[in-house]
Amino acid sequence: MKATQSLKNNRDFRYLYRKGKTAVSPYMAVYCRKNRLACNRLGLTASVKLGNAVKRNRARRRLREVYRTNEARLASGYDIILVARARTITGDYASIQRSFLRLMDKLGLLRDSEGGAL
């Protein structure tokens, strides 16, 4: 079982924002890039513009949950950043999950490519 590490350094975030591939929906934004490691590394971000600490925590938890439940279907060896947007807080969870899988399919991160189209 592979372990997903977390991205912590500010320089890693800035590197992905500049060089990574992106995909955007009203529910979230995704940055990703191959990292030449055996495992994936995940970064979660919620800006202060989204609201107070409760709303930002809620957005991060929903993004972590949608990543965790679909982790087995993802390809390995990538750095991924999930950025929360306004609908991450207001939308329902099923829509967020649908949007997450569509963005992953668009970036070619799903392990079986035909299973990504929901």
Q: Which chain residues interact with RNA by CB under 7 A? A: 6-10, 13, 43-45, 52-54, 57-58, 60-62, 64-65, 68, 92-94
- For RNA, give the closer residue by CB, 96 or 103: 96
Question: Cα–Cα distance between 111 and 84 in angstroms, integer?
Answer: 24
- For RNA, give the closer residue by CB, 36 or 49: 49
- Shortest Cβ 110–RNA spacing (Å): 20
Structural contact between residues 105 and 113, judged by C-beta atoms closer than 8 angstroms: yes
Structural contact between residues 33 and 79, judged by C-beta atoms closer than 8 angstroms: yes
- Shortest Cβ 64–RNA spacing (Å): 7
Q: Which two tokens stand for residue 88?
A: 């991450």
